[in-house]
Amino acid sequence: MKKLIALLLVGLVLVGCSDKKKPESTTTPIPTPISTVEPTPIPLDHDTYDSLYVIINKNHPLPEDFEPSDLVVPNVLATKDGLQIRQEAATALEDMFNAAKEEGITLRLGSGYRSYSTQNRLFNNYVAKDGEEAANRYSARPGQSEHQTGWAVDISDGSMNNWLKNSFKNTPEGIWLAENSYKYGFVLRYTEEKEEVTGYIYEPWHFRYIGLEEAQKITESGLTLEEFYNYMN
Ligand SMILES: [Zn+2]
């Protein structure tokens, strides 16, 4: 509610400012309807596989042959060599890891781009180990993994104790990321208590790059990507 009031005030101030700048105008300014003062998702090109705003989930998979064109190996500490993500995300990731380092937090890239065939192999391994129902909650079927977009990363604190485990959220690295990742354009993609929306369990290590402006708005909203963009079906 406080947020809404703040937004209304900002809206009123902005309307006031623009009036003052156009004293010669003879047309009466149209008052801003209250409904448009609330955060409204920009129409984004979700359905273009190559888009920064593409939303991939169990209902919206990528085709088998999709591979991003600008994959690079970011210049950051990683748990294994050769992990790739898209260029823009790589630059942001480098900035984020450097900022964390300055605050005494050492992050490591644990996973980046994954091809359809890699995801296929992974998922089959998980099914063999834990059964299909369990695997479906924590792993993606091929085509349904955000890692295939090249915009997603898994981040490790360097210890196997917390790697891909819920306990990562209580590590200094997990806490730092939860508080700061949006400042570098990343959002926590699979949040706690949103499994029914995202289709995946809480993953405090998995972050999705979506650009600075959008990441800030999404994080402030507390919504998942699907909810924020009203992309539920
Ligand atoms: Zn992940």
pLDDT digit string, tens, across residues 177-190: 999 999 999 999 99
Instruction: Provide the residue type at 217 as one letter.
Output: K
**Catalytic residue of the set 203, 214, 220, 227:** 203
**Span from the CA of 147 to the centroid of ligand 1 (angstroms):** 6
What pLDDT sits at residue 24?
46
Most confident of 160-164, 175-179, 196-200: 175-179
What pLDDT sits at residue 230?
81
**Span from the CA of 104 to the centroid of ligand 1 (angstroms):** 24
User: pLDDT tens across 94-131, in order?
Assistant: 999 999 999 999 999 999 999 999 999 999 999 999 99
**Span from the CA of 118 to the centroid of ligand 1 (angstroms):** 13
State mean pLDDT over 59-81: 96
**Span from the CA of 221 to the centroid of ligand 1 (angstroms):** 22
**Span from the CA of 114 to the centroid of ligand 1 (angstroms):** 10
User: pLDDT tens across 202-222, in order?
Assistant: 999 999 999 999 999 999 999
**Distance between CA atoms of 175 and 198, rounded to whole angstroms?**
21
Regarding the domain delimited by 43-228, which CATH topology (the fold level of the hierarchy) does it fall under? Muramoyl-pentapeptide Carboxypeptidase; domain 2 (3.30.1380)
**Span from the CA of 41 to the centroid of ligand 1 (angstroms):** 25
**Distance between CA atoms of 203 and 169, rounded to whole angstroms?**
9
In the chain, ranges of CATH 3.30.1380.10 domains: 43-228
Catalytic residue flag (residue 102):
no
Which of 64, 93, 61, 119 has the alpha carbon at shortest distance from 180?
93
